[in-house]
Structure 1
Amino acid sequence: MSQSALSAPPGRTAGVAVRERPGLRQRTREAAEKSWRPVALLLACFAAWWVIAAAELVEPYLVPSPGATLDVMLDKTDYLWQHSWVTTYETLLGFVIAVAVGVLAAVVMVYSATVEKTLYPILLFAQVVPKIAIAPLFVVWLGFGIAPKILIAVLIAFFPVVISMVTGLKAVDPEMLQLSSTMGASPWQTFVKIRLPASLPHLFSGLKVAVTLAVTGAVVGEFVGANEGLGYVILQANGNLDTPMLFAGLLVMSLIGVVLFVLVEIAEHLLLPWHASRRDASATTAY
């Protein structure tokens, strides 16, 4: 045994430097380093918005000032909260249904070439059809309740989920599948131990796209026919030329999408700490 191996601390391999778990201060500094650029861009956009409004380069009834928009958000907090909750509920329910159906459809398509050849062209055709064009049909069929909004959110969020899941399930190394078959693993064991973990990074990429599209789907459904929700708020404000309220509704809608995206990011970070995208390149370094 080499001298370097004998002198290596217990639990460590000679020739590999293992990074210690970062402390709270270091994690805070890393988070600040990653977030300052988008924060700076957002501040620059708000500054440009304020300059345009203050210089009256655009009429106030077309582009309200940030102050006027903030005043509306503060004065109508309860009103916006009530309608924001409706849109959030429709978004979450549509997203969950899209994930459940999309994952199931992807698994069936991967394990059955006949189903894939039959279902994939139909999914592609359904994705090409603009949802806002068929949304009025859902209102006619299902009424003005919550069902059409959820259905549109499902249809918009479904495609990224199923495509990313299919891609992940097919991205497994064939040698791993052959090895599991040689060792006598059942199809279920192969799926749970190999295919599913390997597909999760691809799936989460699709989930982050799908959750933001689900917000759009819910609002589109509210545009067509609703008496509550942020889509209803935006339509009412547009009809009344109340641009501060319109901008407030748009900001709240964007905030919901950002928050849901961040929640999916956090779930990915917690569930996939082992994935390469979650590790620093300097975590392990060979001498």
Structure 2
Amino acid sequence: MRRWWSQVWPPVVAVLFFLIVWQLCTSLFHIEKWILPSPGDIAEQTTGGGADLWGHVLATVRLTLEGFIIGTLVGLVIALILHMVPFLKSALYPLLILSQNIPTIALAPLLMIWFGFGLLPKIIVITLVCFFPVAVATMGGLKQTDRIMLNYMQMIGANKRQIFAKLELPHALPSIFSGIKIAATYSVMGAVIAEWIGADKGIGYYMMLQKAGYRTDRMFVAIMIIVLLSLLMFGLIALLEKWLVRWKPKQES
């Protein structure tokens, strides 16, 4: 408990100090609310947002979860296929890297033209954002299998399925979860980008409405919610990793 608190209190104190300085600056220099609202103004809008704001949050959460699950599964399947078929890996891996050089914000309008303004293009946007870190981390983890144990299992007659299930996959789990944690935070960003392009609800749509009305305080509320959702997604995956990867040795302090 004491070790946990020693890790938590420094960033908490830093954030509180930053908020106090922010509040004092907006009050002392009489900064207009539409330019830079104070933390108090943002908190007021958060608590008084009503059902409209939280309806948008719920829509984004649903979209994020759907896209994250699909993107993670796509990344895992791609990684397993490329790991099992080395020829495909040498042929397609450069294309995977190339796919990440296309900005999502530039690709999203094309997806809207091809697939309309329904759920499908939004899911595709989030999938494109999420699958790459999962695929790369999974392939990296599978590649770093202990060669001594691999040779031993081959010597005792283990087949490829047994080697994968009992050695390669367990050994790669920490790397896989590293990629999934990155994808979890990216999924929220992907959902908001998708909602910017075309939606009638969600945090991204809410931000577009508030931008048109110069409601900077509500824009900050939306940003804060996006950050909290990303942290929540990361934390849930970290808890799942802790539950599943129990054999992983604890790092020394």
TM over 0.5: yes
d(CA) in 2 for partners of 1:215, 1:52? 31
Query: Secondary structure of the equivalent of 2:100?
Result: helix
d(CA) in 1 for partners of 2:111, 2:18? 37
Are the counterparts in 2 of residues 149 and 219 from structure 1 also a CA contact under 8 Å? no
> Aligned letter for 2:60?
T
The structure richer in helix per residue is: 2
Shift of 1:44: 2.3
d(CA) in 1 for partners of 2:165, 2:111? 37
d(CA) in 1 for partners of 2:246, 2:252? 14
Q: Does 1:223 pair with 2:208? A: no
How many aligned residue pairs are there? Answer: 253
Shift of 1:57: 6.2
Q: Name the structure 1 match of 2:213.
A: 240
The one of 42, 64, 69 equivalent to 1:96 is 69
List runs of 5+ in structure 2 lacking aligned partners.
none
Are the counterparts in 1 of residues 142 and 169 from structure 2 also a CA contact under 8 Å? yes
d(CA) in 1 for partners of 2:211, 2:90? 45
Q: Superposed, which structure 2 residues align to 1:237-276 within 5 Å?
A: 237-276=210-249
List runs of 5+ in structure 1 lacking aligned partners.
1-27, 283-287
Q: Does 1:189 pair with 2:162? A: yes
TM-score (norm. length: structure 2): 0.95
> Aligned letter for 2:96?
L
Q: Name the structure 2 match of 1:125.
A: 98
Q: Does 1:281 pair with 2:241? A: no
> Aligned letter for 1:281?
E
d(CA) in 1 for partners of 2:106, 2:82? 28
> Aligned letter for 2:247?
W
> Aligned letter for 1:30?
R
Change (3 A) 1:39 1:109: same
Q: Superposed, which structure 2 residues align to 1:113-192 within 5 Å?
A: 113-192=86-165
Q: Name the structure 2 match of 1:48.
A: 21
Q: Does 1:110 pair with 2:83? A: yes
Are the counterparts in 2 of residues 153 and 214 from structure 1 also a CA contact under 8 Å? yes
Are the counterparts in 2 of residues 106 and 165 from structure 1 also a CA contact under 8 Å? yes
d(CA) in 2 for partners of 1:63, 1:222? 25
d(CA) in 2 for partners of 1:209, 1:38? 21
> Aligned letter for 1:53?
T
Q: Name the structure 2 match of 1:59.
A: 32
d(CA) in 2 for partners of 1:218, 1:280? 34
Quick one: percent identity of the two aligned structures?
Answer: 34
Are the counterparts in 1 of residues 67 and 124 from structure 2 also a CA contact under 8 Å? yes
Query: Secondary structure of the equivalent of 1:211?
Result: helix
Shift of 1:146: 2.1
Larger CA Rg, structure 1 vs 2: 1
> Aligned letter for 2:55?
Q
TM-score (norm. length: structure 1): 0.85
Query: Secondary structure of the equivalent of 1:64?
Result: coil
d(CA) in 2 for partners of 1:58, 1:181? 70
Q: Name the structure 2 match of 1:18.
A: none
